[in-house]
Amino acid sequence: MTSQSHSQEIITRHLCMAADVEKYSRLDTPSQEAFQADLVRVLEEAAVLSGLDRTAWERQPQGDQEFAVLPLETQEPVVLGGFVRNLAVRLGESNANRAEEERMRLRLAIDFGVARTAALGYSGPAPVSVARYLNAPQLKRVLEALGSTDLALIVSDRIYQDVVRLRGEGQGLDPSRYVRVHVHQKEFSGYGWIHVPEHGREELEPLVADPEPEEAEAPRPPTW
């Protein structure tokens, strides 16, 4: 076996996903423990309802978030379609009996690319890009502004072009309900697409627009 063919065998591309709880640090210790358990539960329930096998996911819990590398055979349209819809429903049901300030609300980021196990978790461009998309300020603004929702999703441009734009092979994906944003986080720069279940592009566009730069105050004439 040549070194080239060996290199090709170990380079695999996976669907990668990260879910993060909004404003987790405001919670006391018992509430953080409850939210961690609830996060695992709603992700598992949404996966089961969508026909996905969570036991095959390579998961990396991180307190207020979970990063996961999905199996090679995972169907991207199912994740972007059924899983996202079921996750939104399960979150809504879980929050139904909670006070407004106690609701668990999530940011979700998804990309596809090289991801490999490493000493402290995962290496490769996909885990890095998912982390950067997850912390996009536009995604945070959307979730904060839309108080009626419990889930805000961002996908990479490659996911949008390859899956969403083609309407997901019967999974009910609607590209007109996604809005494009430019994400610049640390050394990462790229386009992503934000989607919020039950909310249209016309609601999202004002929220993702970059703030207008403040005009510098005109210098005042000297007084003598």
Predicted TM-score (pTM) of the model is 0.86
How far apart (Å, rounded) are the C-alpha atoms in residues 147 and 169?
31
How far apart (Å, rounded) are the C-alpha atoms in residues 141 and 81?
23
- % of the chain surpassing 70 pLDDT: 86
∠ CA 157-174-15, nearest 5°, is 40
The predicted model gives 163-186 an average pLDDT of 85
Contact, 141 vs 208, CB < 8 A? yes
Tens-place pLDDT, residues 142-159: 999 998 899 999 999 999
Tens-place pLDDT, residues 84-121: 999 999 999 999 888 887 889 999 999 998 877 776 66
Mean confidence (pLDDT) of the chain: 86
